[in-house]
Structures are given as C-alpha cells and as structure tokens.
C-alpha cells in the first residue's frame, strides 16, 4: 500500500514540475468585466435658451479635449437641469407663451454623446422652473403657475406626471435629501418652506423654534441627509436657516446664521460634498461655511471681499478694457472634486452696457484668494440675460461648473452666448466654446443670433 502511495506522490510531483517551464499553460481564461465609459466623468452640459418660440438646446463639452461633442434640442425656454443617473439628465422647460405645453426633456447619454431626447409633458401654463431628484426613476418639478402652486411628481421610467403636491406661493427652489426620503421647497412670496416625505408624499410638520423664513431663495441638503440649509434674502438682508431633519415625524429649525455673515445680496449657494462646506456668493463677497458639525462654522471669520480686475489687465480687443469698473456682482461658484480650489464667478456692467466677467480662485486649504483674472467681456443682452427679468427665466447671467477630473472649470456667459474654459493647472482663461447656432426669428427685441444663450451649466454625466 505504501508503495502505491509513494508512486502516486512521485507522479504528482512530475505533473507539477512539468508545468514549471517557460511555456504558459492557462487554467482559467480571464473574462474581465466591462466598466462604464470613463469619458462619462469628463463632461459638462450647457443648457441654452433659444428665444420664446424656438426650442432651446443642450451642449455637451468634452473636458479632455475642450470640444463640443454633442448637441440636442430640448423644450422651449429651458431654465434648469439635474443629472438623474450616470447616463441621464433632466432639463425643465418653461414655456413663456402658453402656446406650447410646458415640459421636461429627458436626455439619454452614450458616453459623451446625447443618444436620445424624450419629452415629458406638464400641465400648460404651469410655468415649471426647477427640477430635483436623488432617485433613479422619479423626479420633482416646481410648478409655480399651477393652481394651486405645486410640486409635480414625474415618473421618468413611464415619462408622465403622476401626482401634484400643493406648496406655498411662488416656489423657487427645492432639494431632496440624498437618502431619497424627504423633499423641501422654498416658497419665496409667503416666506415658508414646505417639507414632504417622498415615500407617501405626506407633509412633514416644521417647528420654526421661534425663528422665521424671509423670502427663501435656495435650498441644499447635506450629504448625510440630517441637515437642510435654506438661504433667505429679503430687501438685501440675507441669512441662512438650518433645519434638523432627524425627527421621525417633523423637523425643527435649529440654527440661524445672521445677515452680518451672509453676503447681503446672496441668491444662490453651492454645497461641496467633498469638504462638507457651503459657498455663498453675493455682491462683492463670498462666505464659506463648514457644515460638517451641528452648528455651521464661518470660515475666515466672515465674508471674503472679491477684488475687481483692473480694466488695464484686459486685452485690447476686450470691450471692458477701456471703460471704468462698476459694482461687482458675485453670483456663481464651482468647487474642484479634488478638494484643492474653488472658482468664483463675478461680473459688473459698465456704463457702455458691457458685461465684464472675472474669476477668483480660492485656495481651500488656507481659505484665501489665490489669484483672480479677467474673462473677456461682451455686450449686455438685457432682453434675455438680465436677472431682473421675473423668475424663472434667467436667474443668473453667469453659471459655473467643474470638470470631473479637476483639470477644468467653466464659466457660462448668457450675454456672450458661450462657455468660457479655465485651465486649473495654471488658473488661467484659455478659450471659449460658442453655444449652438441659434435659429431665433427676427422678432423684437433684436435677437442675438448666433449663438444661443447659456442659462445653466452642470457637470457630467
């Protein structure tokens, strides 16, 4: 018996040794999984207005090549957009004439190319102004023109409006918590915030805790879904409210950051989920808040004053190079995903009716201004791009976004009809891409044609 065991052992060694030569003998043929197209993380999407009677467009910019990769038509007068999934973006279209039904355009992507556009019809004259979602097949759209003003619940799998939820007067912004359980709506003209459970669409009672809202303009949910921040702005006295969302039944306002810290003309804020902070631009200032703790902490002790670029530093062909500066309006922010810098967009309108943009670079390690530089100025196009136009048409003359690989930042100019590209390796303006060629008919006021007018900018997909 031992002899047979010994013989078997020798044969086993021979088999092993025979495979130890230079010849490769695979036992398992590898079958690696197919990963998502990495280009999908390197795009920004510009949403462009094309007038009151011609559909607008979406333009996809490839970050790695600084090129216009794809263009698709959306609905009439697009005003806002959100990325819903890795290959889907929703654009909300605000019909201004009532002759065309209001709608959402669902854009499908294949890498950097828009592969399809589907229209989701909304009630006529409902004036949709904002879209939000953290869910894969359901989205929420503000309908301030609906009677009564409401949030529309849209099934993006079946492409139809399935429910409406009444809210306050003139809803202007909303946010869904990242856990997809709660939704909050800022109602500007009745100084309220509406809260809902998204599962059964029931209301969430809100304990103001002795505080009050005042013309709420923007809403952002923290990444852990335990706090929602509301930017209030009334007669130039802006302040921030913080809502604790952790209660089982209702919510409670727990903090107020007063107007001495928040820029007085603030109307927008950006949440940086990588650093857990808020950027709030307004006037010639920027406030940065660390919101990782229960009580927001004001960084740098208060707002940072944004310096104005001197006209003499602009190129000779820049229409702003030979005019005097005016009051600066700081309206847009983009934060790099690598957590190193934030880019702040500002502009002033000179006495020759030119819009004079600039970008200020914030070093987020020291929370100080690293540099600032001009972006070429353009003639003002107040007929469409002035923020004094009643909402929800053009909320901001400038919007910003950052590329997924942190190599580029973008500043979209409504007046200029283009997207300006910033190289983050040198923090300089490098070039611009015009929005798609417009087909706007010659109706008063005189159109800017070409190109179309970028009114919103988002990163991805």
In 224-303, where do the E strands start and end?
Answer: 227-234, 237-244, 251-257, 270-272, 277-282, 285-290, 297-298
For the record, the structure tokens of 415 come out as 């007046």
Q: What is the pLDDT of residue 51?
A: 80
Q: What is the pLDDT of residue 100?
A: 64
The answer on pLDDT for 248 being more than 90 is: no
| pLDDT tens, residue by residue, 180-221 | 999 999 999 999 999 999 999 999 999 999 999 999 999 999
* DSSP 8-state class, residue 34: P
The answer on pLDDT for 93 being more than 80 is: yes
For the record, the structure tokens of 202 come out as 């029931």
- In angstroms, the CA 106 to CA 117 distance is 6
- What average pLDDT does the segment 76-94 reach? 94
- In angstroms, the CA 183 to CA 197 distance is 6
Q: What is the pLDDT of residue 111?
A: 85
The answer on pLDDT for 115 being more than 50 is: yes
Sign (positive or negative) of CA dihedral 56, 62, 68, 71? negative
Task: Record the pTM.
Answer: 0.88
Q: What is the pLDDT of residue 355?
A: 97
The answer on pLDDT for 14 being more than 70 is: no
Cβ count near 190 (within 10 Å): 15
- In angstroms, the CA 377 to CA 430 distance is 14
Please check whether residue 401 is in contact with residue 457, taking contact to mean a CB–CB distance below 8 angstroms: yes
The answer on pLDDT for 26 being more than 70 is: no
The answer on pLDDT for 29 being more than 80 is: no
Q: What is the pLDDT of residue 209?
A: 94
Dihedral of CA atoms 282, 284, 289, 295 in degrees, nearest 10, equals -70
Q: What is the pLDDT of residue 278?
A: 98
- What average pLDDT does the segment 281-304 reach? 94
Mean pLDDT of the chain: 88
Q: Which of 225, 331, 217 is nearest to 279 (CA)?
A: 331
Listed range (168-182, 237-251, 311-325) with the worst mean pLDDT = 237-251
**SS3 at position 419:** strand
| pLDDT tens, residue by residue, 403-451 | 999 999 999 999 999 999 999 999 999 999 999 876 655 544 444 445 7
Provide the percentage of residues in the chain whose pLDDT is more than 90: 75
Confidence of residue 247 (pLDDT cuts 50, 70, 90): confident
Locate the domains of the chain by residue range.
36-311+377-459
Task: Say which CATH architecture domain 36-311+377-459 belongs to.
Answer: 7 Propeller (2.130)
The answer on pLDDT for 92 being more than 50 is: yes
Confidence of residue 156 (pLDDT cuts 50, 70, 90): very high
Confidence of residue 39 (pLDDT cuts 50, 70, 90): very low
- What average pLDDT does the segment 281-294 reach? 95
| pLDDT tens, residue by residue, 123-141 | 988 999 999 999 999 999 9
Q: Residue for token digits 């303009």?
A: 217
Confidence of residue 96 (pLDDT cuts 50, 70, 90): low
- What average pLDDT does the segment 268-277 reach? 96
């Amino acid at each position: 018996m031992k002899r047979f065991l010994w013989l078997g052992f020798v044969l086993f060694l021979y088999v092993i040794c025979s495979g130890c030569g230079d010849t490769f003998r695979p036992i398992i043929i590898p079958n690696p999984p197919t990963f998502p197209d990495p280009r999908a993380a390197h795009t920004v999407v510009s949403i462009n207005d094309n007038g009151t009677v011609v559909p607008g467009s979406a333009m996809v910019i490839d970050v790695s090549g600084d090129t216009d990769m794809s263009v698709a038509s959306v609905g009439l007068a697009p005003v806002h957009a959100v990325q819903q999934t890795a290959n889907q973006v929703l654009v909300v279209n605000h019909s201004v004439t009532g002759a065309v039904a209001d709608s959402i355009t669902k854009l499908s992507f294949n890498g950097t190319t828009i592969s399809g556009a589907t229209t989701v019809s909304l009630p006529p004259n409902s004036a949709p102004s904002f879209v939000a979602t953290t869910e894969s097949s359901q989205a929420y759209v503000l309908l301030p023109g609906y009677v009564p003003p409401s949030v529309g619940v849209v099934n993006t799998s079946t492409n139809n409006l399935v429910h409406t939820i009444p809210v306050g007067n003139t809803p202007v912004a909303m946010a869904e918590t990242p856990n997809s359980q709660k939704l909050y709506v800022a109602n500007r003209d009745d100084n309220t915030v509406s809260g809902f459970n998204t599962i059964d669409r029931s209301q969430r009672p809100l304990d103001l805790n002795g505080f009050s809202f005042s013309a709420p303009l923007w809403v952002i949910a923290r990444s852990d879904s335990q706090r929602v921040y509301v930017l209030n702005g009334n007669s130039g006295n802006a302040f921030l409210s913080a809502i604790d969302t952790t209660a089982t039944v209702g919510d409670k306002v727990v903090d107020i950051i007063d107007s001495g810290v928040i820029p007085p003309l603030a109307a927008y804020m950006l949440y940086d989920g990588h650093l857990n902070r808020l950027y709030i631009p307004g006037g010639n200032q920027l406030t940065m808040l660390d919101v990782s703790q229960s009580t927001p902490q004001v960084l740098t002790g208060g707002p940072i004053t944004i310096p104005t670029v001197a006209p003499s530093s602009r190129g000779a062909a820049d229409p702003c190079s030979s005019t005097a500066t005016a009051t600066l309006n700081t309206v847009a922010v983009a934060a790099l995903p690598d957590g190193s810098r934030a880019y702040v967009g500002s502009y002033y309108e000179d006495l020759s009716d030119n819009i004079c943009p600039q970008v200020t670079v914030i070093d987020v390690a020291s929370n100080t201004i690293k540099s600032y530089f001009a972006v070429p100025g353009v003639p003002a196009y107040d007929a469409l791009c002035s923020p004094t136009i009643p909402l929800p048409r053009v909320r901001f003359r400038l919007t910003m976004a950052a590329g997924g690989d942190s190599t580029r930042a973008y500043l979209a100019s409504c007046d200029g009809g283009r997207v300006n590209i910033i190289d983050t390796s040198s923090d300089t303006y490098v070039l611009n891409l015009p929005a798609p060629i417009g087909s706007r008919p010659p109706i008063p006021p005189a159109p800017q044609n070409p190109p179309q007018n970028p009114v919103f900018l988002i990163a991805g997909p």
